[in-house]
Structure 1
Amino acid sequence: MKVIKKAILSSLLLGLVGTSLAGCGGTNNSPGDSPASSNASVDPVTIKWYVTSGNGNMPVTQQLLADYKAESGVNVELQVVPGDGEAIYKKVDVDLSAGGDVDLITMQNAIVLSKYATNDWLLPLNDIYKEAGYDYETKFGKNLNKFDGDTIYTLPDGLVSWVVFYNKKIFDDANVPYPSGEWTWDQYIETAKKLTDPSKGIYGSSMPDYDTILYLLAQQQGVNAYKADGTSNYDDPAFKESLQWYGELGNTLKIQPSWLEIKSKKIPYDAFMTGKYGMQLIGSWYTFAPQDLKTYPRDWKIGLTQIPVDPQGKNGISTSGGIAVNKASKHSKEAADFVRWFAENNYKYSGGMTAQVNLNDEESNKIFTEIAAKFPALDGITAEDLKAALVTPNLGAVPEKITGSIPTDYGNIILQEGELYLVGQKSLDDAISSIKTRANEAIKKQSTIH
């Protein structure tokens, strides 16, 4: 399941999947918008970018690079790595450890970004952009991935927001109104109870088995997983509440499959498309599934709405990818310019959602209209529906994952210890204590390395 998800996310975040390339040329930016102006150079500069073999071989990749060269005069040469995203990062790790100077590295998510920034392999872009007069704060606002305060290593090339997809037929059969607007987790649970029908094998809710789901409430409340001294903050009551809350959804309330059922029955990430689940909480990258009637044939309608919130933290969950510049790059300004251009234009190639926050109404409506047109006509999903679900000005925004000094280790520890609680092999207190202890051990080990 996770391999499939990673492949899908990789395609969306890299922006190398698309159908129509009409009108996908570069934007007409003023001189102050571009950190590098390679057209003025007599000898064209070539910068190198790691990509997977699958993405590197797509025609749209060549179109994207041709469009950028036409605007900037800079060649972007692909360094193709066989395999998926994991293979890329193994190759990058080896190359950077040996002082390799390939210019561009895709940051698939905040955890990858945190890893490479912590290892001091990335070039901060703040000064390059400020010197060029490029206002990235206005362009991307709350969607910027800032590291260790205000350091910018990348710009978001798309935005994935957590939303709730719902099966209109199950709602209609249960005579339950469709959800819309701001709502709470209590309302979500009450809705799921009304939709659940064991006699028909129908669950009211479905949630992914990601580490994020085990600390979701704490994340929405903005509770830091690290204390001020850098040690684990997992003894904050919000993390215990989150794990217990998630466990009760499947084990006690039975409005969704329990963790044990998900694992033992190998319930796939796309089980919602079977028509047996009333609601699906997941990232907006999942829109590919309802749009694909060939892979997921159905005669029932799908709707979507914004993520429920915790009264103590009215925040949506979002994530984004981007491209970072190798600290050892010999063409740092040109590489930074490609990062800018890609972040501003990626949505035109991927068909996804831009992370820019300063678009005017006409530009914004055009994007949402194009996305809505990709859904089957039977769903009747409009641009306004998408805007209400994906762009929620009534909510704040917090990142999907715990990052910090041990992003990968933290997530793995939470999954391992959390699972022992969810399947009844550890008490809640013991699981939380073990997460904190193991996280502190990993933090200490990481500090000795750096």
Structure 2
Amino acid sequence: MNRRLKLVLVVSMLISLLAGCGSGGATDTNSAEGTPNSSESTTSTTLRIYVDGNRAKDSNFLSVVEAFKKDTGINLEFNIVPGDGVEIYKKIDIELGAGDKSTDLILLTNPILLDKYAKSGSLLPLNDLISTEKYDAKGIFGEYLNEYDGNIYSLPFAVNKWAVYYNKKIFDDANVPYPSGAWTWDQYIETAKKLTDKDKGIYGSYMLDYDNYMYLTTRQKEVSGYKEDGSSNYDNPMFKDSLQFFGDLGNKHKIQPSWLEFKTKKLAWDGFMTGKYGMHVIGSWYTNMFLDKEAYPRDWKFGMTELPTPADGTGNNNIGIVQGLGINVNTKNPKEAFEFVKYYAENDYKYSGNLPAQVKLSAEDIKGMFQTLVDKLDGEITVDDINKAMYDNNLGFSDEKIVGTAASEYSSIILQESELYLIGEKSLDDTVKSIKERADQAIKDQTSK
């Protein structure tokens, strides 16, 4: 990992954790002349943004919205889609397909969404706005700024890097030392076994139903989801090994809820906050949860350490994603919407648990930012804890998602087929074969359009 990338990841983790409060509703957008931060008034402008039910109540997200209103005079209101962030994009697909002009802003929480909406023509190219305002997007965001055929469709607001969060009380009760420093997945499994206590309803590990858990160790080795000819690479044996690894955690080692238990009990994405799990493998955005003590009151303290790596000594990478914010191509308020895109990209990390996707933060800021985070968390973790977990650990960085032709369909296929293996209805070999065949067809269908 180059020095600059390390710096950005470090800086992003720190200051990203300041909390606040605010409010949001949902009304129609009003058009207005003039741009924020100019001598012209923008107080009559109201922008709308798609948000899921959870984000609409997130005090940290509400804080940056309130700060934007205060600093620019532009109102921001929510087009709320109930749910946990999955259903929202089904509604966005429908509304954008119908030519929605009332919602201005679209959160692109993973690179698959950016790729999908950019290629479908749903996002407004930002090049002209960037040029007109002489905004140094490339200088601010560097390698995190994505372009498609020379067009910029979003500004990145966060780099989410994975880590292991752990419940110190569960470790203490089991007399198990806290994890620290480089470790392997085999060591993670052995640690989780020591923490698991079925009589108390405690599992040593917790993972979710995201597609990238199915191929996590493969992405740590930076194996592409595509072959050089553009077809699916899912017949690479590493994808098979990754799926078996994930399935074994619940079905064989029994250190976390099996897929069947996770689904039938409808276990939550924020289930780790219940205090019933020893360790949680998740992106750095999860740090945000520990700041919100009103929504997540707890009688236990948490710790964090670096992501385990494969035991064979290869693929010693962390994984993660770059998140961005784009503008509906049909917006009636492009200039005002761009003001929020810029504001959010530059300031989100000051309020949330995200790592900023900026390359101009100075080395002198690092210690101060880590300390700010530590103070906000009342000393639950130390500057050294954060540094080792997220920055100074010699881990590289690999995109957690498979991004390319028909990426959204590819992701859905992986989840659909993997579920059949995880609940015992399909063999491992047949599962990866089906993923390969269905992904190839999806890629062919999209390429032929």
TM-score range, shorter chain: 0.7 to 0.9
Structure 2 length-normalised TM: 0.77
The equivalent of 1:419 in structure 2 is 419
> Residues 19 and 127 of structure 1: is their aligned pair in 2 closer, same or farther, counting only changes over 3 Å?
same
The equivalent of 2:215 in structure 1 is 215
Residue deviations 1:57-104 (CA, integer Å, cap 9, x gap): 99746633334527xxxxx45464243464576357534653849654
The equivalent of 2:384 in structure 1 is 384
The equivalent of 1:73 in structure 2 is none
The equivalent of 2:398 in structure 1 is 398
Task: For residue 259 of structure 1, report the CA deviation from its aligned partner.
Answer: 1.8
Counterpart amino acid of 2:180? S
The equivalent of 1:5 in structure 2 is none
Counterpart amino acid of 1:341? Y
1:102 and 1:298 mapped to 2: Cα distance?
37
The equivalent of 2:114 in structure 1 is 113
Task: For residue 303 of structure 1, report the CA deviation from its aligned partner.
Answer: 0.8
| 1:345 equivalent in alignment to 2:341 | no
The equivalent of 1:286 in structure 2 is 286
Task: For residue 381 of structure 1, report the CA deviation from its aligned partner.
Answer: 1.3
Structure 1 length-normalised TM: 0.77
| 1:439 equivalent in alignment to 2:436 | no
Task: For residue 326 of structure 1, report the CA deviation from its aligned partner.
Answer: 4.0
The equivalent of 1:157 in structure 2 is 157
Task: For residue 418 of structure 1, report the CA deviation from its aligned partner.
Answer: 0.8
Task: For residue 236 of structure 1, report the CA deviation from its aligned partner.
Answer: 1.2
> Residues 131 and 164 of structure 1: is their aligned pair in 2 closer, same or farther, counting only changes over 3 Å?
same
Query: After the TM superposition, which of the residue ranges 61-70 and 351-360 deviates more from structure 2?
Result: 61-70
Check whether the contact 1:162–1:282 (CA below 8 A) recurs between aligned residues: yes
1:274 and 1:90 mapped to 2: Cα distance?
30
> Residues 335 and 434 of structure 1: is their aligned pair in 2 closer, same or farther, counting only changes over 3 Å?
same
- Of 66, 82, 86 in structure 2, the residue corresponding to residue 63 of structure 1 is 66
Counterpart amino acid of 1:94? E
> Residues 94 and 398 of structure 1: is their aligned pair in 2 closer, same or farther, counting only changes over 3 Å?
same
Task: For residue 213 of structure 1, report the CA deviation from its aligned partner.
Answer: 0.5
Query: After the TM superposition, which of the residue ranges 303-312 and 345-354 deviates more from structure 2?
Result: 345-354
Query: After the TM superposition, which of the residue ranges 80-89 and 393-402 deviates more from structure 2?
Result: 80-89
Counterpart amino acid of 1:314? N
The equivalent of 1:19 in structure 2 is 20
Q: Secondary structure at the match of 1:256?
A: coil
Counterpart amino acid of 2:160? V
Counterpart amino acid of 1:66? K
2:213 and 2:155 mapped to 1: Cα distance?
26
The equivalent of 1:321 in structure 2 is 323
The equivalent of 1:194 in structure 2 is 194
> Residues 248 and 306 of structure 1: is their aligned pair in 2 closer, same or farther, counting only changes over 3 Å?
same
| 1:50 equivalent in alignment to 2:49 | yes
Query: After the TM superposition, which of the residue ranges 390-399 and 157-166 deviates more from structure 2?
Result: 390-399
| 1:243 equivalent in alignment to 2:243 | yes
2:158 and 2:301 mapped to 1: Cα distance?
27
Check whether the contact 1:318–1:398 (CA below 8 A) recurs between aligned residues: yes
Task: For residue 432 of structure 1, report the CA deviation from its aligned partner.
Answer: 0.3
Counterpart amino acid of 2:404? G
Q: Secondary structure at the match of 1:159?
A: strand
Task: For residue 434 of structure 1, report the CA deviation from its aligned partner.
Answer: 0.7
| 1:304 equivalent in alignment to 2:295 | no
| 1:122 equivalent in alignment to 2:123 | yes
Residue deviations 1:19-76 (CA, integer Å, cap 9, x gap): 179xxxxxxxxxxxxxx98656768696844344977899746633334527xxxxx4
Task: For residue 430 of structure 1, report the CA deviation from its aligned partner.
Answer: 0.1
2:376 and 2:300 mapped to 1: Cα distance?
17
The equivalent of 2:371 in structure 1 is 369
Task: For residue 360 of structure 1, report the CA deviation from its aligned partner.
Answer: 2.0
The equivalent of 2:410 in structure 1 is 410
* RMSD of aligned residue pairs (Cα, Å): 3.7
1:295 and 1:40 mapped to 2: Cα distance?
38
Counterpart amino acid of 1:64? A
Q: Secondary structure at the match of 1:222?
A: coil
Check whether the contact 2:225–2:233 (CA below 8 A) recurs between aligned residues: yes
Q: Secondary structure at the match of 1:158?
A: strand
2:184 and 2:341 mapped to 1: Cα distance?
37
Check whether the contact 2:117–2:123 (CA below 8 A) recurs between aligned residues: yes
Check whether the contact 1:101–1:326 (CA below 8 A) recurs between aligned residues: no
Task: For residue 240 of structure 1, report the CA deviation from its aligned partner.
Answer: 0.7
Task: For residue 130 of structure 1, report the CA deviation from its aligned partner.
Answer: 6.8
Q: Secondary structure at the match of 2:315?
A: coil
Check whether the contact 1:111–1:408 (CA below 8 A) recurs between aligned residues: yes
| 1:185 equivalent in alignment to 2:185 | yes
Q: Where do 5+ consecutive residues of structure 2 fail to align?
A: 1-15, 23-33
Check whether the contact 2:417–2:434 (CA below 8 A) recurs between aligned residues: yes
Task: For residue 431 of structure 1, report the CA deviation from its aligned partner.
Answer: 0.3
> Residues 262 and 165 of structure 1: is their aligned pair in 2 closer, same or farther, counting only changes over 3 Å?
same
1:348 and 1:174 mapped to 2: Cα distance?
36
1:92 and 1:183 mapped to 2: Cα distance?
41
1:387 and 1:113 mapped to 2: Cα distance?
30
Q: Secondary structure at the match of 1:414?
A: helix
> Residues 294 and 91 of structure 1: is their aligned pair in 2 closer, same or farther, counting only changes over 3 Å?
closer
The equivalent of 1:81 in structure 2 is 79
1:332 and 1:216 mapped to 2: Cα distance?
38
Check whether the contact 1:50–1:88 (CA below 8 A) recurs between aligned residues: no
The structure whose RCO (Cα within 8 Å, separation 6+) is larger is: 2
Q: Secondary structure at the match of 1:146?
A: coil
The equivalent of 2:99 in structure 1 is 98
